[in-house]
Amino acid sequence: MFGFGLKSKTEKVLLDHFSYPVSNLKRHVFNALVKQGKSMGQNEYSIAIYYMMINMNTLVEPWDDSEYENSESEQKEINDFIERNGRIIGQIMHLANSPESDIEEMLLEIIVKSGMANPDNRPVEVMENPKDSSKDSKEVAEESEEIEKIEESDEDDDENLDVQDGEDDKGMEFLRKMADLYVGNLKIFISLAPKNTGTLSDYQIKFIFALQLLGAIDYCGQLRNLGEDKCSPIYLVKLLDKELFDWNPSEAGFVFHAVIDVQEEQWAQKIIISGGESMAEILDNSVSLANNTMDENVDLFPMTKIFDDNEAMKLVAKNVQPPF
């Protein structure tokens, strides 16, 4: 059933230890996480743990930014999901090649945000005596099924999902390629740019890049009529790009919501729009390069133009404060 690749090994860890298969809706996020993990030298246990913590964190801080409040029974299911999978993470994290301290810190942040921590901010039995705690596989499977019902509650009206899978796959593949193209250009610029000596902090500069990235992905989504449900997973995965942002999953999740919170602000909209315009220029440049018609004066890194907008940069310095 399983091959010997890192992706197959990671899925086996998810099934054997968490009884948690990768759903079709999360397949692209999973694949991107495996690709990123492979480039960072992470093993299947590290990637599986990070994948589960992304799912756990999403339940604590939903992507849709809605004002919907979970019912008591829904919140109990979410808390049980986090607690029980937190136990499993505690049992297997010694098999990961990521620092255990990093895993513990991220897990604790999720537990605290869920409201499941004791007053002294220690987890409620989640990581106490991990090797002695155990969970019947049937119970874990039942819990995974329960949480999947919550996650898939918005799929009930989508009776033609199987028919649309092929088209959706093409759209997601297009988004991934375009996001890779944009981020690749940005990385090249960063590698060539001098070290930051300006008035903006490194975090503020990264936040500008995050806003532009949202605009770039949104622009590509509009080209293929893809909505937020397709764009958001790609965006979140790119926020986890260690080489570009160097944020752990909790920090990337925080930035994701910070971007959503300010996206309607005029200064933020200007930066987001600059990201979309930059993406359009990058695509034009790629076509020109392929056809050997590129103007020698073309701007290869159009995303940097926004930094010449002094007023926008002053507003970033005023409104964006490093949270970590």
77 against 295, higher pLDDT = 77
User: What confidence tens digit (pLDDT) does each residue in 18-55 have?
Assistant: 999 988 777 777 887 787 778 778 899 999 998 898 78
The pLDDT of residue 137: 46
147 against 70, higher pLDDT = 70
CA 324, CA 245: separation in Å to the nearest integer? 13
227 against 292, higher pLDDT = 227
Instruction: List own/partner pairs for 74-79 with CB under 8 A and 24 or more apart.
Output: 74/150, 77/143, 77/146, 77/147, 77/150, 78/114, 78/147, 78/150, 79/114, 79/115, 79/116
HEC per residue, the chain: CCCCCHHHHHHHHHHHHHCCCCCHHHHHHHHHHHHHHHHCCCCHHHHHHHHHHHHHHHHHCCCCCCCCCCCHHHHHHHHHHHHHHHHHHHHHHHHCCCCHHHHHHHHHHHHHHCCCCCCCCCCCCCCCCCCCCCCCHHHHHHHHHHHHHHHCHHHCCCCCHHHHHHHHHHHHHHHHHHHHHHHHHHHHHHHHCCCCCCCCCHHHHHHHHHHHHHHHHHHHHHHCCCCHHHHHHHHHHHHCCCCCCCCCHHHHHHHHHHHHHHCCCHHHHHHHHHHHHHHHHHHHHHHHHHCCCCCCCCCCCHHHHHHHCHHHHHHHHHHCCCCC
pLDDT band at 216 (very low <50, low <70, confident <90, very high): very high
Longest dimension (CA), the chain: 66
Average of pLDDT values for 114-127?
51
CA 279, CA 219: separation in Å to the nearest integer? 7
Amino acid at 237: V
Query: Which tokens is 200 given?
Result: 């903006």
Q: Most confidently modeled of 73-77, 90-94, 181-185, 289-293?
A: 90-94
The pLDDT of residue 142: 54
138 against 249, higher pLDDT = 249
The pLDDT of residue 101: 80
C-alpha dihedral, 164 to 166 to 167 to 169, nearest 10°? 120
CA 38, CA 220: separation in Å to the nearest integer? 26
Average of pLDDT values for 90-103?
87
C-alpha dihedral, 241 to 244 to 247 to 252, nearest 10°? -60
The pLDDT of residue 16: 94
Minimum mean pLDDT range among 70-74, 146-150, 308-312: 146-150
Nearest to 34 by CA among 53, 14, 6, 12: 6
Q: Is the pTM of this model over 0.85?
A: no
Answer whether residue 207 shows pLDDT above 50. Answer: yes
317 against 107, higher pLDDT = 317
The pLDDT of residue 22: 87
Nearest to 215 by CA among 174, 292, 300, 276: 276
pLDDT band at 67 (very low <50, low <70, confident <90, very high): low
Write the CB contacts of 163 (distance below 8 Å, at least 6 apart in sequence). none
The pLDDT of residue 72: 81
Helices 72-92 and 44-60, axial angle in degrees (round to 10): 160
The dihedrals phi and psi of 116, each to the nearest 5 degrees, come to: -100, 10
Answer whether residue 198 shows pLDDT above 80. Answer: no
Beta carbons of 227 and 221 less than 8 angstroms apart: yes
Mean pLDDT of the chain: 77
